[in-house]
Amino acid sequence: MLIKVHKAYRDVVAVCDSELTNKKFEQGIAQLDIRENFYKGEEKTAEELIEILKDMAKEDATFNIIGSDSVNCALKAGIISEEGIKQVQDVPFALVLL
């Protein structure tokens, strides 16, 4: 999985499954455009990603999470719930504004 932190007024944490970068998914009016310049950061294991997500949640960050593995890590980290998960063409994603 890939994680990239964009520093701004509020940190924006972009997380996605590695194989999804540079892909686009559309379903009705919904669209996921997984651009490398936004999502491609450091490759992390599930354990590493869960710890980073927990730490970033304490820092009042926002999160963009795309892909089955990434969404599962966010669930385990406690930053999203099952109700917050949406799908576009069977690709799960979650947006979090804490």
Q: Which domain holds residue 64?
A: 2-97
How many structural domains is the chain composed of? 1
The CATH number assigned to the domain holding 89 equals 3.30.1860.10
State how beta strands 30-34 and 2-6 pair. Answer: unpaired
pTM of the predicted model over 0.85: yes
- The stretches of 1-98 forming alpha helices (DSSP H) are 36-39, 46-58, 68-77
Sign of the dihedral defined by the CA atoms of residues 85, 20, 11, 73, in that order: positive
List the pLDDT tens digit at each of the 98 positions of the chain: 999 999 988 999 999 999 999 999 999 999 999 999 999 999 999 999 999 999 999 988 999 999 999 999 999 999 999 999 999 999 999 999 86
